Chains A and B, each alone.
Chain A
Amino acid sequence: MTYASDRAEIEDLMARYLFAMDYHDADAYAECFTEDGVLDYAMGRLEGREAIRAEARVFKDKIAEVFKDWQGNPAKLRHTIGQQAIRVEGDRAWNTGFWWEMTNGGPQGSLATPSFGTYEDELARVGGRWLFRRRKIYNEFLPGRESGAVNPVLAMDRAAEGA
């Protein structure tokens, strides 16, 4: 496998993850993680694919509490990714990615852009397929979930070199 092919498959995983989340597809979401995968995000830290699946089943309700349109209905929330620094070493990979989100929660149903942050990921190739072993989600608009002052790519490179 070349870097380009690993990267292409990891980018596809990232897109599948985002569609699964935004369309409340808990099974497709959970299948993006390894069996022992860890999701660490603003609302909790989940260990294992089944714990993540259970959490994903209530994403819709949790998100509906936070994101509403101007009439009080659950807003349409779309997460998206910008640049991604991806490092691959054999069957392990690391990603530092920039994400932001948009909704229809602005005045009179207009588009709003509530927040942005970073994804800091460890990935593993299991059965030929790249999956998240650990995804940590930072949000610069949530006190306590900011990514910090240091370039996160440095820690990713150190982790990759340590492996």
Chain B
Amino acid sequence: MPKFTARAALAAAAIFMTGALPMTAQAEQPTYSASYAEDRAEIEDLMARYLFAIDYFDWDSYVETFAPDGELEFASGTSKGRDAIRAAVESFSKRIGEFYHTEDGKPATLRHVILQSSIRVEGDRAWARSLWVEMANHGPGDTMKMGTFGIYEDELRKVDGHWLFSKRRVLNEFIPNRHSGPGNPVNDMDALAEAAAK
């Protein structure tokens, strides 16, 4: 079992009671179980499948990356359950061409990219904080342009042997009110994981 500390308990309690993230939380030392590499590899694969599903408008595959009662929070709002998530992302996807288009007005080819991930695993639950960036052919002369970046704040659950998102929160540093931070997002992840592992 991972080491549990009173400091983590206080940090987690602060989140639950006030909704505020601990700004000055000390760095908790993560613990890694013998199966960490295996879990991390499978979670990284899930993250890749999620992005291919979005960029190729494959909403069947997309919703299957979520647990049946999974939750998605992004700029358009919060949706719970696969049907609600599908409705929200399909609607958003139809509007995205207004923002991302080539010079002749066609929807741009948009690609999301996942960068570093800190992933914490405790049994059949996991948490992750990852940096993402997106790019498309909507630069001058339809050249490649990187549009925005942000982070994913994820909770995952292993369901019937498969890691799935139980909650994915998408933050974007270029959309007002959707910024991450200002505290280190890894600290609240550690506090949540340690509280859950108690």
Listed in ascending order, the chain A residues whose CB lies under 8 Å from chain B are 2, 4-5, 7-9, 11-12, 14-16, 18-20, 23-25, 27-28, 30-31, 76, 78, 80-81, 102, 104, 109, 111, 113, 129
Contacts and interface: CB of A to CB of B under 8 A. Distances in A.
A78 B131 contact: yes
Nearest to A18: B116
10 contacts: A2-B37, A9-B32, A15-B118, A15-B186, A23-B181, A23-B185, A24-B184, A25-B27, A78-B131, A104-B174
A43 to B, nearest CB: 21
B118 A12 contact: yes
Given A19-B184, A111-B147, A111-B174, A5 B129 contact: no
Contact of B41 (A4, A76, A111): A4
Q: Which of B34, B37, B182 has the most CB of A within 10 A?
A: B37
A80 B186 contact: no
Interface residues of B, number: 34
Main secondary structure of the interface of A (DSSP, over half): helix
A96 B183 CA distance: 29
Contacts of B118: 12, 15-16, 19
B27 A20 contact: yes
A23 B148 CA distance: 18
Contacts of A7: 37
Contact of B119 (A12, A27, A30, A129): A12
B133 interface: yes
A28 B146 contact: no
B29 interface: yes
A5 B37 contact: yes
B143 interface: no
Nearest to B24: A27
Nearest to A8: B37
B123 to A, nearest CB: 17
